Structure 1
């Protein structure tokens, strides 16, 4: 008996002498949401060292030396949220106002954004560098640089492509800039130029994303390598039994984009929908529904935004750019207004069908100058709620704002989910987002690039850009 006690004391002495693992941040008693499996891992410790997760464990017998400890009993931990469709744009006079949008993302727990084309590429590269070096607080920014379009493009800064040689040159130019993906737009681009860009990007192994001119069939774009489809207009076109006829009429100048919408909605069918969804799934083509901006712009006539709290944090120059869409909505006739409402409802109904068919979805707000009342940070939470309201399970909405974005950008080896060896960018929530997706806003604290920001810190980020 005496020898047993001595052995136990000896073992305890050895254990007590073992060096404790040092971490920068230790989160204890957390409910960790695994966005890949959908499971909740209860009562876990998370150790973060130099911005990466050192471990996630339920072994409380092990002791650690932590510079900072966060007690998360009863709280839920998720990866930092990513907004997969935003814009920085508006010309030189709006550079500073765009820079001031960055705190709105971090104040709302957005730790990554996919910037989908604008006219501030060099500034964005500067912001990327400053954020990486820690001289500026902000989300990790992935950018497409300038959009690719045709001559006389709608958006300033776009690169014009008319020939295959120009397509190759444009793709090489963007690659040499160091963009993360290529964004195609459909305001002036020809059918041939669009397909040439996809061909040249695919040759070089560069991800693509974008709109699609109605002179192109959806299957042509997908089979040519379009990586993600922004908005649901183009998915709708693919689900129409009259897609070929509409395409021919647009090529012939007999039909227009908006003028085709009622015809497309009236000619969708279950068989064609399934064919289209299978096409998207089998080619691993992602879809960004952008429901929140659709809900917002569809009802600009009916909803008064003049007292929106976030107008206090948006520069007056950017607010002035809202007027274009507002004027269009107010001047639209009754038939066009009703078509937009019908279209918005059609898009909402498409979301659960896409999910059921196994199509990968991305959560994107489309916030930025010219997109009226769609505010950075806040609108991503609005998009998550819109996705769930449309019929998406809460866990799938979370995936659309975390792991799916990382997979699309091919950085899921480090970002998008909570695993040892991956990024320690995360949110600690007071309430369970799998019970109510609005709980993504019940942020207790955020870890970003190895630093802890309390809710008070995040509120200060917001206040730092409040207009005087």
Structure 2
């Protein structure tokens, strides 16, 4: 049909009759339109774009997406949409519209002048913050109240580890079941969205944490707890084992041998890294002894328990290369000197030095790519996350790197994109409100200059970002990054201009 002119009231009246998508989302279209009219809510129309909605549906060329405030109100062919006088039109012709991206393993949102704008400028409209503490909870609350422009934040608890730990404050260390339960109650009181568990938890404390999380209906994720078999931890309810820790051992023909070596090794408070270093080396060796039959059984069991793969290739690649490999990354201009200095010091704890070590770590990383491809083909859900704030892992920018690695691992561009949109939302229990371009869901969108379904690198070519209905065009995004570059050159000033927790950061 030909597009007709309509004033704002007529347009909202049309929406009330055309809003089948809103009704499907459980929202009464007429009531939605009435409330929008009463509130004087802005109308934004993304017009003429090819919509890649995050589902398995084909891309829809020459579409229109109507946003009323912070919600998607209508999606359909552009020719069916009446022209609304006074609406803001975002020109989508020749471009591709995708849902806003989620970084599903992030740290450091409390670097308020640096991290939030870097995320948004790269199309990241939501993050899973993997370690909660006072400063980043305060930043989350500012974003929620609209006082700070930034991505949506799903906030983890303080990291919960055993009495021996590789980390220090602000983590919570527990020695027994009672302390584990208390740590979960604290996480609930702090409005944590999930609990984060760590390597060195005693078995009784771990099971108490799992039980208390069930009691409060709180999910928990984190690192592989070394004193448990992966399947036992998954049966207890752990949703992910971050960074692929332990997955190579669990899928190896030498699994029982390696697990026996770990069982016999104590957590030494005087040499805290010894166990971690042994486990990492055994995991590397296990990658060279991958057993398809063992893997098939393990993957099937994890899938049945709704356990997900969270590979964080971005950080794994950095620690697999010599320490100086990324020292001249042009994105360093967006990072303050205190972070750069910390990165340079911290990285030497992980990276290879000799030619033999470099070759071993390159092979290990390639094995990680293959392992994730096998897990994905076995039906395990995959989450795209970066572990930003670790050395040379940059907010927003590195999620684009992660998508590249996921495609190298064997996911199609569509599947890689879904890992940070639709599937991320499903994992978080937010599928009804975010993750796809669907009426009724939040208005978090990214407009691209190229087709991400043919080349995942198109996700880097951002024209416009919409976050909670706020339109950030290319000029605004460029200015945001320029402001980040300026802020990165300034000395820290104020409680939340930098994280006071930086010295305890690691691969977490």
Q: What TM-score results when the alignment is normalised by the length of structure 1?
A: 0.89
Mapping of residues 5-24 of structure 1, within 5 Å? 19-21=10-12, 24=43
Aligned to 2:102: 82
- Root-mean-square deviation (CA), in Å? 2.4
Change (3 A) 1:301 1:26: same
Structure 1 residues 17 and 387, CA gap change in structure 2 (3 angstroms)? closer
Deviates more, 1:377-386 or 1:447-456: 447-456
Gapped regions of structure 1 (runs ≥ 5) = 1-12, 90-94
Q: Does residue 208 in structure 1 map to residue 220 in structure 2?
A: yes
Q: CA-to-partner distance for each residue in 1:238-284, whole Å, 9 max, x for gaps?
A: 21233333223212118831342244224321111101111121111
Q: Does 1:316 align with 2:307?
A: no
Question: Which of the numbers 50, 56, 73 marks the counterpart of 2:93?
Answer: 73
Residues 57-103 of structure 1: CA deviation (Å, up to 9, x unaligned): 116244142530112111100001110001128xxxxx6x4652221
1:365 to 360, 372, 386: 386
Deviation at 1:335, TM superposition (A): 4.9
Distance 2:62 2:120 in 1: 27
Once the 2 structures are TM-superposed, how far is the Cα of residue 38 of structure 1 from its aligned partner?
4.4
Contact 1:216-1:247 within 8 A present in 2 as well:
no
- Is contact 1:351-1:392 (8 Å) kept? no
Distance between the aligned counterparts of 2:399 and 2:57, measured in 1? 20
Match of 2:447 among 411, 421, 428: 428
Distance between the aligned counterparts of 1:439 and 1:360, measured in 2? 23
How many angstroms apart in 2 are the aligned matches of 1:133 and 1:114? 18
Matches of 1:351 and 1:117 in 2, distance apart?
24
State the match for 1:111 in structure 2: 125
- Whether 2:290 is the aligned partner of 1:299: answer no
Distance 1:69 1:361 in 2: 35
Q: Give 1:429 shift.
A: 0.6
Matches within 5 A, 1:378-393: 378-393=397-412
Counting matched residue pairs gives 444
2:348 corresponds, among 284, 307, 327, to: 327
Instruction: Report the CA distance between 1:177 and its aligned residue.
Output: 0.8
Provide the residue aligned with 1:160 in structure 2.
Answer: 173
On the 8 A contact 2:177/2:206 being kept in 1, the answer is no
Equivalent residue for 2:141, pick from 118, 126, 129:
129
Q: Which runs of 4+ in 1 moved over 6 A?
A: 15-18
Distance in 2 between residues matched to 1:132 and 1:257, nearest whole Å = 40
Q: Could you say which residue in structure 2 is the equivalent of 1:185?
A: 198
- Tell me the alpha carbon deviations over residues 17-45 of structure 1, each in whole angstroms, 9 at most, x when there is no partner: 99222761011111111212142022111
Aligned residue for 1:7?
none
SS of 2:238's equivalent in the other structure is coil
Given the alignment of the two structures, is residue 265 of structure 1 paired with residue 303 of structure 2, yes or no? Answer: no
The 8 Å contact of residues 103 and 127 in structure 2, kept in 1 or not, is answered as yes
Q: CA deviation at 1:327?
A: 2.2
C-alpha displacement of 1:405: 1.3
State the TM-score, normalizing by the size of structure 2: 0.82
Match of 1:4 in 2: none
CA displacement at 1:367 relative to structure 2 = 0.6
Distance 1:366 1:224 in 2: 25
| 1:106 to 1:16, Cα distance in 2 relative to 1, 3 A | closer
Deviations 1:404-459 (A, max 9, x none): 11111101110111100001110011100011101001111111121111112111
> Which digits, 9 at most, give the CA deviation of each residue in 1:354-375, with x for residues without a partner?
111111000001011xx21111
Which residue of the partner structure matches residue 356 of structure 1? 377
Counterpart CA distance in 2 for 1:27 and 1:226 is 40
In the TM superposition, residue 193 of structure 1 has moved relative to its aligned partner by 2.4
Aligned in 2, Cα 1:151/1:336: closer, same or farther, shift over 3 Å? farther
- Counterpart CA distance in 2 for 1:260 and 1:61 is 60
Q: 1:160 to 1:386 in 2, by over 3 A?
A: same
Q: Which of 242, 250, 253 does residue 230 from structure 1 map onto?
A: 242
- Matched residue of 2:157: which SS? coil
Are 2:476 and 1:457 aligned? yes
Corresponding position: 1:53 with 2:75: no
1:55 is paired with a residue of what secondary structure? strand
Equivalent residue for 2:461, pick from 435, 439, 442: 442
- Residues 388 and 327 of structure 1: is their aligned pair in 2 closer, same or farther, counting only changes over 3 Å? same
Consecutive unaligned residues in structure 2, runs of 5 or more: 13-36, 267-274, 490-508
Contact 2:352–2:358, Cα closer than 8 Å, also in 1: no
Q: Distance in 2 between the 1:324 and 1:61 partners?
A: 58
